[in-house]
Amino acid sequence: MSPANNRDQIIDKIKSKGYWEINIRPVVYNEQRVEKRSLRELVRSSKVELRGWDYPPFRDSGGEPYPIQNGIEKFIDWSNNIEFWRMTQSANYYHLLAIEEDWMEPAGLKYMHHLKNQKWIGVLGALYTVTEIFEFAKRLASHNIFDDSMTVDIKLHDLQDRKLIVESFDRVPLYDKVAKISEPWGFNKEILVADLLSKSAQFALDAFADLVFLFDWVNIPIDSIKNDQQKFLQGRI
Amino acid sequence: MINPTKADKIISGILESPNESKTIEFKPSIPWPSKIDQIQNNDKAQEIIMGILGMSNIRDGGKIILGIEKNAPGGKYIRKGMKKIDLKTYDQDLIFDYIRNFGEPEPKFQILNVEYDDKNFIVFAVQSFVIAPVISKNNKNLKKVHNATFYLRTDKPETKKVTDPSEMREIIDLAIEKEIELFSTRMQRIFQTLSHVPAPKSTREEMNKFAEELKDIL
């Protein structure tokens, strides 16, 4: 089977449940912005490796990203990490990422059996994902591929009746935080590269606060969330 | 012995499907030498020291987790947990005091006793260097750790002494990048007004061109 067939199957699988859709790109289109032979190194040197799993995944038993007509692609289907991404010569980065909670084996739910067969998303998981997205965007931007400004577009699909859960035993749980919208959550922003380079973590916090608002979580303990984010970025536990 | 803490989301995720990478290294349960002089002939402890020095010099740092073994060469990793007798030999302050002396500047790391699946694991959570990369310092005549050398954790994954110009370049570039980031953050704070300049928006035509590149997968 060709990579394109496998890829389409993975994309169908990702879209069969909840998923993140990420697009990072320049504001101005230039078909030849990045040389083809530089694309792999561009993504490799920008990937974020803060939790034992790369954002975006770069290498696995299936090898490194494979070439397509105008760029490179990679898909992966391992445990609850189901992902597909593409980076083109115009620096148009597109990523589909299954919500990992939707693919957790019952054994992986260990202390959260009550969530079996339910749609949910974890507070820390969501915070880490948006932080990784903006950190990756920042690292791409540091290669001077976007000129002065860039677009970061993030969507989260399949929110209807999804619960927001604190996936930690030593914290105050959240009660009745359920999203009631059928449309995907979206965060679309044109950002100055200089701003992103110096404030990527703040952009991620803004996006996170915007997302959890849909779960009716308004009084977010922002200092505590900020602390979690900083610990994550610094590799502290 | 280090007081146990429950595995957080990140450690649970790593232990759920154990897989080594550039930022994750597994080791079986070993006792920690009670005296610094005993490290001289202890290859396993020296490997952990080199791992900490190597992870200090990569952008995202890393984690060394003790209590995990391979079921066969090239086989799967198994969560065995730390042996009780080994676990008792870990003293946060003592180990921190030993290891920080092997790097200049001192490597930044935490040592934790983490509980997961009714087993205990020792986790060294290593942070990336802040401004200057960490150079090894061996004033205890360790057999495996070289003096005045950069160690690096690679994609292979392995911890190695830097011998290749491209690896040296990677560390220097990272140090420059961190310096620029720090400078840029400071400048941004000074010239707050920059943030009020709105970013230009893509025209409909530009957006269509980007979308055209994704039409086969959308």
Domain containing residue B24: 4-162
Higher per-residue pLDDT: A175 or A235: A235
Task: From B154, B178, B149, select the one nearest B167 (Cα to Cα).
Answer: B154
Cα B52 to Cα B89: distance, rounded to the nearest angstrom: 19
What per-residue confidence (pLDDT) applies to B107?
97
B128 Cβ under 8 Å from any chain A Cβ: yes
Please compute the mean of the pLDDT values over residues B177-200 and round it to a whole number: 77
Please compute the mean of the pLDDT values over residues A206-225 and round it to a whole number: 95
pLDDT band at A226 (very low <50, low <70, confident <90, very high): very high
A202 Cβ under 8 Å from any chain B Cβ: no
Model confidence pLDDT, tens digit, residues A14-52: 999 999 999 999 999 999 999 999 999 999 999 999 998
Are the C-beta atoms of residues A196 and A141 closer than 8 Å to each other?
A: yes
Say if B175 falls within a structural domain: no
What per-residue confidence (pLDDT) applies to A111?
64
Is there a contact between A49 and B60 if contact means CB atoms under 8 Å apart? Answer: yes
Is there a contact between A169 and B6 if contact means CB atoms under 8 Å apart? Answer: yes
Distance of CA B186 to the CA centre of its chain: 27
pLDDT of A62 over the 60 cut: yes
pLDDT band at B196 (very low <50, low <70, confident <90, very high): low
Model confidence pLDDT, tens digit, residues B126-174: 999 999 999 999 888 888 999 999 999 998 899 999 999 999 999 999 9
Of A49, A54, A235, the CB nearest to B127: A235
pLDDT of B194 over the 70 cut: no
B9 Cβ under 8 Å from any chain A Cβ: yes
B179 Cβ under 8 Å from any chain A Cβ: no
Using CB atoms and an 8 Å cut-off, which of residues 68-107 of chain B contact chain A? none
What per-residue confidence (pLDDT) applies to B15?
94
Are the C-beta atoms of residues A22 and B214 closer than 8 Å to each other?
A: no
pLDDT band at A1 (very low <50, low <70, confident <90, very high): low
Residue of chain B whose Cα is closest to the Cα of A90:
B210
Is there a contact between B197 and A86 if contact means CB atoms under 8 Å apart? Answer: no
> How does DSSP assign B16-80, residue by residue?
HS---BTTEEEE---PPPSSGGGGGG-HHHHHHHHHHHHHHTSTT-EEEEESEEESSTTS-EEE-
Residues in a beta bridge with A63: A60
Is there a contact between A49 and B21 if contact means CB atoms under 8 Å apart? Answer: yes
User: Residue A60 gets which letter from DSSP?
Assistant: B
The structural domain count of chain B equals 1
Chain B residues close to A124, C-beta within 8 Å: 9
pLDDT band at A117 (very low <50, low <70, confident <90, very high): confident
Say if B39 falls within a structural domain: yes
What per-residue confidence (pLDDT) applies to B36?
81
Q: What's the first-to-final CA gap in chain A, in angstroms? A: 43
pLDDT of B193 over the 60 cut: no
Say if B216 falls within a structural domain: no
Residues in a beta bridge with B116: B119
Are the C-beta atoms of residues B15 and B116 closer than 8 Å to each other?
A: yes
Chain A residues close to B190, C-beta within 8 Å: none
What per-residue confidence (pLDDT) applies to A84?
98
pLDDT of B209 over the 80 cut: yes
Mutant choice from B63, B108, B187, B202 vs A, greatest count of A C-beta within 10 A: B202
Residue of chain B whose Cα is closest to the Cα of A24:
B210
**R_g over Cα of chain B:** 22
Say if B32 falls within a structural domain: yes
Say if B195 falls within a structural domain: no
Query: What is the pTM for the complete model shown?
Result: 0.94
Please compute the mean of the pLDDT values over residues B47-52 and round it to a whole number: 96
Beta strands in B71-189 (DSSP E): 77-79, 103-104, 109-116, 119-126, 135-136, 151-153, 159-161
Say if B33 falls within a structural domain: yes
Chain B residues close to A151, C-beta within 8 Å: 202
**Count of Cβ atoms closer than 10 Å to residue B176 Cβ:** 10
Percent of chain A with pLDDT over 70: 96
Higher per-residue pLDDT: A35 or A194: A35
> How does DSSP assign A134-154, residue by residue?
HHHHHHHHTTT-STTEEEEEE
* Cα of A218 to nearest chain B Cα, Å: 23
Chain A residues close to B16, C-beta within 8 Å: 79, 108
Chain A residues close to B202, C-beta within 8 Å: 27-29, 151, 190
Model confidence pLDDT, tens digit, residues A119-167: 999 999 999 999 999 999 999 999 999 999 999 999 999 999 999 999 8
B64 Cβ under 8 Å from any chain A Cβ: no
Say if B129 falls within a structural domain: yes
Are the C-beta atoms of residues A174 and A166 closer than 8 Å to each other?
A: yes
**Mean pLDDT across chain A:** 93
Say if B154 falls within a structural domain: yes
Q: Is B161 buried (19+), middle (13-18) or exposed (0-12) by CB count in 10 A?
A: middle
- CATH code: domain of residue B124: 3.30.950
Residue of chain A whose Cα is closest to the Cα of B184:
A198
Interface confidence (ipTM) of the complex: 0.91
